[in-house]
Structure 1
Amino acid sequence: MRVEIWSDIACPWCYIGKARFEKGLAGFAHRDEVEVVHRSFELDPRLTKADTGTVLDMLVAKTGRTPAEVREMEEHVASNARSEGLGYVLDGRDYGSTFDIHRLLHLAKARGRQDALLDLVYRANFAEERSVYDEDTLVGLAVEAGIEEAEARAVLADPEEYAADVRADQREAAELGANGVPFFVLDRRYGVSGGQPAEVFTQALEQAWDSRAQAGAHA
C-alpha cells in the first residue's frame, strides 16, 4: 500500500502531522507493507528568493492581528508540537520561498534519503534557530542526510533541476482537490486532511487496507 503525503516545510501542521502519521503507522499491523512518498506543495508559490523575513512579522501582516494575538496563535501550535515530542521555537524563525527546498527533496528521494532530509529540514526550521532558506545551511542538512555536497550544490545552482517534479506534484494536488496541507492520500482510495490524531491515521490505514483486500477478493 502506498501513502502519499503532500506537505510544505514551512507548514507547522505538516511538521506535527508527519509525527502523528508516523505514530499512527506504528500502530498499523501491516506497517511494513506501506510505502510512504512525500510530495511537494508550496503554501505560497508567489514568494521569491528575495521575499524573506521573520515568521511572526509575516503573520502579523498576513492576518491583521496584533503581535500578541499572533504569539498566542503560535503558542497554541507550539503546544501541539511539544505534545508530540517535537521542538518548537517561536522567535528567530524565518520564512521564504520553499521551491528550492522541494527541489532538493526530490534529489533526496532519488537517492533514497527523502525522509531523512525532510526530518532534518523540519527540525532546523521549527526546533532550531537555523534558517533553511540559507543555501549553506540547506546544503549542510543535505550532507547530514547522506547526500553528496557537490550534488546538492549542483541542484541548487540549476533552477530547472527537479523543478518539473515539484510542479507536477503541485498540479496533482490540485487535481485531487487539495487546497491545503498536510494532505494524505492512501492507495488513491482515501484522503486525510490536516494533522489529525495518530488514531485517525491508524483507522484510515486499516480502512484502506480492508478496501484493498475486498477489491482483490472481487477481482
Structure 2
Amino acid sequence: MRVEIWSDIACPWCYIGKARFEKGLKAFAHSDQVEVVHRSFELDPDRPQGDTAPVIDLLAKKYGRTREEAQAMEEHVASNAHAEGLDYRTEGRDHGNTFDIHRLLHLARDRGRQDALLNLAYRANFAEERSVFDPEVLVTLAVEAGLDEAEVRAVLADGAAYADEVRADEREAAELGATGVPFFVLDRRFGVSGGQPAEVFTQALEQAWGNRAPLRTVAATPGAGEACGPDGCEVPQVNAHA
C-alpha cells in the first residue's frame, strides 16, 4: 500500500499530523507493507523568496487579532504538539516561501532521504532556533539528512531543479480536491483530511487495505483534524485572558 501525504513545512498541523499518522501506522497490522511518499503543497506560494515575517505578527494580521491573542493561538497549537511528544516554540519563529524546501524534498526522495530531511526541517522550524528560510540552514539540514552538499547547493542555485515535480504535486492535490493540508491519500482509495487522531489513521489504513472502492475522503471533525489552507491554519476562538 502507498500512502501519499501532501503537506507544507510551514503548517503546524502537518507537523502534528505526521506524528499522529505515524502512531496510527504503527498500530496497523500491515505497517511493514506501507510505502509513505511526501508530496508538495505550498500554503503561501505568492510570497517572494527571502521575504520572511515573524509568525506572531503574521497571525495577528491574518486573523485581525492582538499580539496577545495570536500568542494564545500559538499556545493552543503547542499544547497539541506536546501531547504528541513534539517540541514546539511559540515565539521567535518566522514564516516565508517554502518552494526551495519542497524542491530539496524531491531531491531527498530520489536519494532515499526524504523522511529524514522532512523530520529535520519540521524540527528546525517548530522546535529549534534555526530558520528553514535561510539557504545555509537548508544546506545544513540536507547534509544532516545524508545528502551530498555539492548536489544540494547545485539544486538551490538552479531554480528550475525539481520545480516541475513540485508543481505536479500541487496540480494533483487540486485534482484530488485537497484545499488544505495535511492531506493523506491511502492507496488512492481513501483520503484523510487534517491532522486526525492516530486511531482515525489506523481505521482508514484498515479500510483502504481491504477496500477497492474509489477515493473517499474522511473529513476533519470539529476539535480534531485541524488543517492549514491558503487562508491560514485552523484555530479555535481562544480567549487570551482565560
If the TM-score is normalised by the length of the shorter chain, which range does it land in? over 0.9
Instruction: Name the structure 2 match of 1:130.
Output: 130
Instruction: Name the structure 1 match of 2:206.
Output: 206
Instruction: Name the structure 1 match of 2:23.
Output: 23
Q: Is the 8 A contact 2:50 2:133 kept in 1?
A: no
Find the aligned partners of 1:49 and 1:59 in 2 and give their Cα distance: 20
Give every structure 1 segment of 4 or more consecutive aligned residues whose post-TM-superposition deviation is greater than 3 Å.
none
Query: Which structure shows the higher helix fraction?
Result: 1
Per-residue CA deviations over 1:35-89 (Å, capped at 9, x if unaligned) read 1000000011111113211111111111111111111111010000000000000
CA RMSD of aligned residues (A): 1.1
Find the aligned partners of 1:24 and 1:81 in 2 and give their Cα distance: 16
- Aligned identity (percent) is 75
Find the aligned partners of 2:197 and 2:50 in 1 and give their Cα distance: 36
> SS state of the match for residue 6, structure 1?
strand
> SS state of the match for residue 179, structure 1?
coil
Instruction: Name the structure 2 match of 1:168.
Output: 168
List runs of 5+ in structure 1 lacking aligned partners: none
Equivalences for residues 109-128 of structure 1 within 5 A: 109-128=109-128
Per-residue CA deviations over 1:105-157 (Å, capped at 9, x if unaligned) read 00000000000000000000000111001111110000000000000000000
Q: Does 1:9 align with 2:9?
A: yes
> SS state of the match for residue 153, structure 1?
helix
Find the aligned partners of 2:130 and 2:21 in 1 and give their Cα distance: 25
Letter matched to residue 73 of structure 2: M
Letter matched to residue 32 of structure 1: D
Letter matched to residue 118 of structure 1: L
Find the aligned partners of 2:174 and 2:49 in 1 and give their Cα distance: 24
List runs of 5+ in structure 2 lacking aligned partners: 215-242
Letter matched to residue 133 of structure 2: Y
Find the aligned partners of 1:50 and 1:88 in 2 and give their Cα distance: 23
Paired residues, what number? 214
For normalisation by structure 1, the TM-score amounts to 0.96
Find the aligned partners of 2:50 and 2:165 in 1 and give their Cα distance: 23
> SS state of the match for residue 39, structure 2?
strand
